[in-house]
Amino acid sequence: MNSSVKKIPGFPRYVLTRKGALLSIERDYQYWFCDICKGDGYLLCGQCWLDPSIVIGICDHCKDCSSCGGTGEIKSTKKEQYYDQVEVFVGRDGYRQAYLYRGTKKTRHPKKIYQLMAKTFLEERPSKDHLVRHLDGNSINDSIENLAWGTHADNMEDLKKHNEDRATLNDELKLAITIDIRRSKLPLYDPEIRVNTLLSISLDRMVPFTTVNRIYWEIIDTIGK
């Protein structure tokens, strides 16, 4: 398998790309029509082959194709991987998440993408005190180049550095962000549109995406009451 795509430890039905895209493995082999019977699954006897009036083409003398066992398909000797995009959503905490199935069980497991990325691509966790850091301060940028292990002190240092270029959230700024969100025609049920809209607001107002996302959910909760 390409090193840019890896299976997730503990979840063999799924893979991650280095950019943080989550994909499911649908099947492992590619199937082709049998070259001998051309996908029919049987071989015509001489009489059926010569008689154009026979539509179905099967009599007691016709035989199942021995090459494919009568299925009309043969399995490729080359192993292939087929991927389907898995739905990823941004939770109330501002991090990308998805529901995964483990093995053949029907139980879904909610997992944060950045944690799966670290488990899949980073070296082993140095200690139980180490957490995953988003190096650029963007909680939805889960590319492996943006993730690293770090202690609580490292995370606090990251936060201090990122806050140097950010606006301080006061009542006036929170009101401005609230107005921006409401003008975007809430509720934004389309996840992709919602994330892109909130990210744009966070960049314009120079605040973390998680802050804008939290205000969005506060508005949604108010509307629901």
Give the per-residue pLDDT at 113. 96
Contact (Cβ atoms closer than 8 angstroms) between residue 110 and residue 99: yes
Give the per-residue pLDDT at 180. 94
CATH class of 5-28+83-163: alpha beta
Give the per-residue pLDDT at 56. 47
| Residue that the structure tokens 């995406």 belong to | 209
| Distant-in-sequence contacts of 162-170, Cβ < 8 A, 24+ apart | 162/136, 162/137, 162/208, 165/206, 166/206, 166/207, 166/208, 167/205, 167/206, 167/207, 169/207, 169/211
Give the per-residue pLDDT at 79. 58
Contact (Cβ atoms closer than 8 angstroms) between residue 97 and residue 89: yes
Positive or negative CA dihedral for 105, 107, 110, 115?
negative
Q: What does DSSP assign to residue 39? A: T
Please, what's the largest Cα pairwise distance for the chain? 89
Cα–Cα distance for residue pair 143/208, rounded to 1 Å = 18
CA distances (Å), 122 to each of 10, 101, 148, 156, in order?
15, 22, 7, 21
Render each residue's pLDDT in the chain as its tens digit; 225 residues. 556 889 888 887 889 999 999 998 875 555 566 777 766 666 767 666 666 554 444 566 677 777 777 666 666 555 556 688 898 999 999 999 999 887 655 667 789 999 999 999 999 999 989 999 999 999 999 999 999 999 999 989 988 888 888 888 899 999 999 999 988 876 666 788 888 999 999 999 999 999 999 999 998 888 765
Give the per-residue pLDDT at 83. 81
User: Which residue stretches of 61-142 are H helix?
Assistant: 113-121
Cα–Cα distance for residue pair 215/186, rounded to 1 Å = 12
Give the per-residue pLDDT at 60. 65
Contact (Cβ atoms closer than 8 angstroms) between residue 124 and residue 117: no
Give the per-residue pLDDT at 29. 53
